[in-house]
Amino acid sequence: MKVSIVTISFNQAKFLERAIQSVVEQDYDDIEYIVVDPGSTDGSREIIEKYRDKITTVILDPDDGPVDGLNNGFAAATGDIYAYLNADDALLKGAVSKAVAYFKRLSDVDVITGHGYMVDADGNVIRRFYSDSFTPWRYVHGGCVVMQQSTFFKSDAFKEVGGFNLGNRIWWDGELILDFALAGKKFIVVNDFMSIFRIHDDSISGSRHGQTEASIRNERLRQENLDRFYIKVMGHPANGFTPIATALARIIKWMLAPFNTFWRLLEKLGFRFDKNVRW
């Protein structure tokens, strides 16, 4: 099985090299690595050139933002399995070979997602990130999350749903997963830690909170997408019964994965067991 991995980068030189290393140092041989950079001016392109002989395809054309860049990257992909990685994230060792092993063993599965670690700008582990079993109903009611960096999916599924929605400027990964589910694709969550998700002030996730103009804009866009997703799944806007359904979805989440819930509780209480994770 060939695995195509796309990394999008724009002025992320501080983190980019580690992301590239995490892909080219995987122990799986049949990886097609595609790096998309629409015009960085911070030294990112020099880093890409440093690893040019280990990158299958480099796309340096201007694009219309991250979603367009991802679609351009996957348009050049020829693999059986797809995955993508932002320039400030990283795969853990052995992630690709583990994913391929699951696909070979579970031929009817379309989407495989694992767990990972959330880290800060300096790479220090903040907490574990557990993916949940996915259904559209629980997703739009806040009852499940999926770690994008630890998610692998069949190329046919990606092509069937039409790739990423170009109109979604902030939550395109969540919409892709939702589209997979609405198209009837089969999901499985595996109990493997596969990636690193970095939170920092310049990231979309990191800039959601606070009172800056970017934070306020991103939170507004996030809510607009959430409202749209809700209608997409339920056929109507949120109403007075939605808070009840949300509470039920979260109870179901806790019941389906009690160990993960217990671990999250320990972390909220201040316990840290992963400070020395090497990645």
Between the two ends of the chain, the Cα-to-Cα distance in Å is 25
Q: Could you read off the pLDDT of 113-161 as tens digits, one per residue?
A: 999 999 999 989 999 999 999 999 999 999 999 999 999 999 999 999 9
Q: 51-65, 75-89, 174-188, 199-213 — which is least confidently predicted?
A: 199-213
Calculate mean pLDDT across residues 160-168: 95
Break the chain into its structural domains and give their ranges: 3-268
Assess whether pLDDT exceeds 50 at residue 207. no
Please state the CATH superfamily assignment of the domain spanning residues 3-268 in this structure.
Spore Coat Polysaccharide Biosynthesis Protein SpsA; Chain A (3.90.550.10)
pLDDT tens, residue by residue, 24-42:
999 999 999 999 999 999 9
Q: What is the pLDDT of residue 174?
A: 95
What is the model's pTM? 0.92
